[in-house]
Structure 1
Amino acid sequence: MPVGDLASPDPDAHLLELAAHSFPDAARIGVMVSGGGDSMALLHLVHRAGELRGWLVEAITIDHGLRTEAAAEAAMVAQVCAGLGIAHQTSVWQRQDNTGNLMNRARQARYRLATDWAQARGLSHVAVGHTADDQAETFLIGLARQAGIDGLSGMRGSWEQGGVTFARPLLSVPRADLRAYLVRQAITWVDDPSNDNAHYTRVKARNALAVLAGLGITATTLATVSDNLESARLALLRQFADAARMVTQTEAGSLGVPRGEFLRLPTEMQRRLLIAALQWISGVSYPPREAGLRAVQRALAVQKDATLGGVRFRVKGDAIWVLREARAVDALEAPTTQPWDNRWHLTGPHAADLTIRALGAEGLRACKDWRATGHARDALLVSPAIWQGQTLIAAPLAGFPNDWCAICSPSFGSFVLSH
């Protein structure tokens, strides 16, 4: 019997239905819980749905170390979880410094830690407590940044990271509805004081929503607009994926595009292709700034090379080649058991004294048969190689495998479809 039918007069039935049907094939589910109202409501709803569905539910709290109250909030969540019979873990972000965009780095760390936890615990899905208000705020922030359809489509309902599916079951639910649920269920939560700090862009967007309500523009209406734009974005993505498949070829981790085919693409398709190529090769999560992207487009239109974000765009004959910039990987080193440059995975006779570094000019000179591979020299220079100190042990892409294999994952085609 559907969950809603079990208690149809219950004002919580719709919320419970959303939680219950967000993970149709899952047996083990994690919940990210900060202690705030949205995530506490999600925790209880997933717990209730789990009792009906037979799920094993666990929870994690990420302490970013940015507020002194965070440890006490994590302890509160742990106590609530213990009362519900839910295994709980607190993970602390060990950041090295406060440079760069701290909030963005904290967000990336949050999902990285949650992914590691889910993998270790055997959890196939992780629930995240974003609401329609978060979606609406994201939309307004996108407007302020003059975003296109991608930026205005807002947050995704689900995505995959490291083999773990993250989902936002409550993305269509206004925050006020969750607060009402918490009150009805007598559930305790904590309010982060930074949510009232008008210094933050998201708080400014939240305050703007209160003003826009007089025009009938609410969190729910803006969340619906984001949903509509997401449908359009997905249709555009499918069209772009078809175009990218027809005009691109990959070689040793680089990407080749016939220049004539590229210039015949609509401007938006050119733009998407350059962004996808840059993100696939560099491993960055966010697209480059529009000014930098337009500069690359202008250079390619007049047959000039360009660089952007650690990626090199080279015009060679009738083709445009997109490859890693050498200086971006010159000092990059990793154990052979770990990914290199965010996308290369090496398999072979691992040993503690071996590392992965770029092949470089010196390494390429030691690969006598590299020309027989058919790969371009520029691509091989930035390809992964196995080193023992200063001694080259293997260069799988340059004709010197020595029992090693290098796999670039995901493929460009898979990357395009998943982004």
Structure 2
Amino acid sequence: MTTGFEMLRDTVRAHLPETLPPRLGVAVSGGSDSTALMHLMADIARREGIALFVATVDHGLRDEAADEAKAVATQAQELALPHETLRWQGWDGLGNLQDQARRARYRLLTQWAEALGLGSIVLGHTADDQAETVLMRLARSSGVSGLSGMVHVRSQGNVSLLRPMLSVTRAELRNNLTDIGVKWIEDPSNRDIRFDRIKARKALEQLDPLGITAQTLTDVAENLERAREALAQYAQDSARQIIRVDGGDLTVDRKGFVGLPEEIRRRIIIAAVTWIAGRDYPPRQSTIDRAQQALSAGQTLPIGGCLLVPDREKTWICRELKPVGELVTGVAEAWDDRWIVTGPVRPNVEVRALGESGISQLSDWRDLGKPRKVLLSSPAVWSGETLLAAPLAGLPGEWHVKLSDKRPEFFASILSH
């Protein structure tokens, strides 16, 4: 191996967990960045006795994509690595194509990793990707968290997404691939200026004379990441003082909330909504601003699939009924992707929201001390229109309910937003 390869390998290894899991995944599209990553990770895996698995996502949007996935499979085979192509067939032609494709990619990769028992997937994002991300978020007037760019480690369900090349430029990787005689695939969409990321890439070329390069923007993102971590810690400490977790709901002491700095109030609301509704991304800034005002003033307000419900000196943050009103699952299945109801599995027994119909069948729900609106969105066990159990509303029956193990503890989740 060349000295350049070894230097890059050591840089990548330094940005991975100190102890790697025995089984690890790597996502490879066939482009220069991920191809270089596959070769670097293959060497790391051999040195450390790690079983490495390769996956390529074929979005089905270009005729060449299938052949490109085969090319990756061939390179993986040459490195003695198992490879699998994951195909996306979910786009209906509506909405933001790049955003939907990105979400599908992460979903497919996570499902692949879970099926193989892989706790982590290594991704090939580079300093160039980080710089483009910062520019795009700058255009959206993002704050500290947005301008801190992509994080080195992010959880996607039970799988960790690792980005160990955020300090490495695309030019370095391509030069190294050329040195070791490895070819990569050029995706024509990387030249399509209809996409914001490509516009940002072109803008970087114009900013270079000012010293605004991929590396300098990556350095800025790292500086802001340290600031983001400090703010997240402050938000977590503050939340512990003013918030109580009540099952899957939260109660906020309004006086304590009002006394916090605006940025910390904003972070607490984002963490609460994300934790309860299971959102991948926070609501818009204008929505968060309205939620701050409503919570401070003791007003009811829906936000991001959740509901603010004032109750004397506190405000409940709970699941809104509308998003789960028609949701039906069986017993022992994940309801609303966060509740697990256990108990007898019988024909015609299903899990649905308590709703107005259910609460009308309860005589003593007021004894719980929870507002009516908070209980309406809780999981209940039904047989037709007959309520059999509402474990969170005072009618356990033969069934029990708990939060899914896939959901992190609320206060711990604040550090990831």
User: Smaller-chain TM-score range?
Assistant: over 0.9
Deviation, 1:288, is: 1.2
Q: Does structure 2 conserve the Cα–Cα contact (< 8 Å) formed by 1:314 and 1:322?
A: yes
Deviation, 1:325, is: 1.8
Which residue matches 1:415?
Answer: 413
SS at match of 2:395: coil
Q: How does 1:4-403 map to 2 (within 5 A)?
A: 10-21=3-14, 22-23=16-17, 24-95=19-90, 97-350=92-345, 353-403=348-398
SS at match of 2:151: coil
Using the alignment, how far apart are the partners of 1:65 and 1:335 within structure 2? 33
| Count of matched residue pairs | 412
Using the alignment, how far apart are the partners of 1:30 and 1:101 within structure 2? 28
Using the alignment, how far apart are the partners of 1:402 and 1:151 within structure 2? 46
Using the alignment, how far apart are the partners of 1:83 and 1:359 within structure 2? 56
Residues 162-215 of structure 1: CA distance to partner in whole angstroms, max 9, x if unpaired? Answer: 322221111110000011111111112111111111111111111111111111
Q: Does structure 1 conserve the Cα–Cα contact (< 8 Å) formed by 2:332 and 2:343?
A: no
Consecutive unaligned residues of structure 2, counting only runs of 5 or more, are none
Using the alignment, how far apart are the partners of 2:211 and 2:5 within structure 1? 25
Deviation, 1:401, is: 2.0
SS at match of 1:335: coil
SS at match of 1:195: helix
Consecutive unaligned residues of structure 1, counting only runs of 5 or more, are 1-6
Shifted more, 19-28 versus 165-174: the winner is 19-28
Deviation, 1:304, is: 2.8
Deviation, 1:281, is: 1.8
Q: Does structure 1 conserve the Cα–Cα contact (< 8 Å) formed by 2:231 and 2:264?
A: no
Using the alignment, how far apart are the partners of 1:342 and 1:102 within structure 2? 25
Using the alignment, how far apart are the partners of 2:348 and 2:112 within structure 1? 28
Deviation, 1:340, is: 2.0
Using the alignment, how far apart are the partners of 1:87 and 1:56 within structure 2? 9
Q: Does structure 2 conserve the Cα–Cα contact (< 8 Å) formed by 1:253 and 1:379?
A: no
Aligned alpha-carbon RMSD (Å): 1.9
Using the alignment, how far apart are the partners of 1:96 and 1:222 within structure 2? 33
AA partner of residue 162 (structure 1): G
SS at match of 1:11: helix
SS at match of 1:34: coil
Using the alignment, how far apart are the partners of 2:42 and 2:347 within structure 1? 44
Using the alignment, how far apart are the partners of 1:299 and 1:26 within structure 2? 45
Using the alignment, how far apart are the partners of 1:85 and 1:270 within structure 2? 51
Using the alignment, how far apart are the partners of 1:115 and 1:248 within structure 2? 32
Taking only the aligned residue pairs, the percentage that are identical comes to: 44
Q: Does structure 2 conserve the Cα–Cα contact (< 8 Å) formed by 1:251 and 1:375?
A: no
Using the alignment, how far apart are the partners of 2:34 and 2:91 within structure 1? 27
Q: 1:338 to 1:97 in 2, by over 3 A?
A: farther
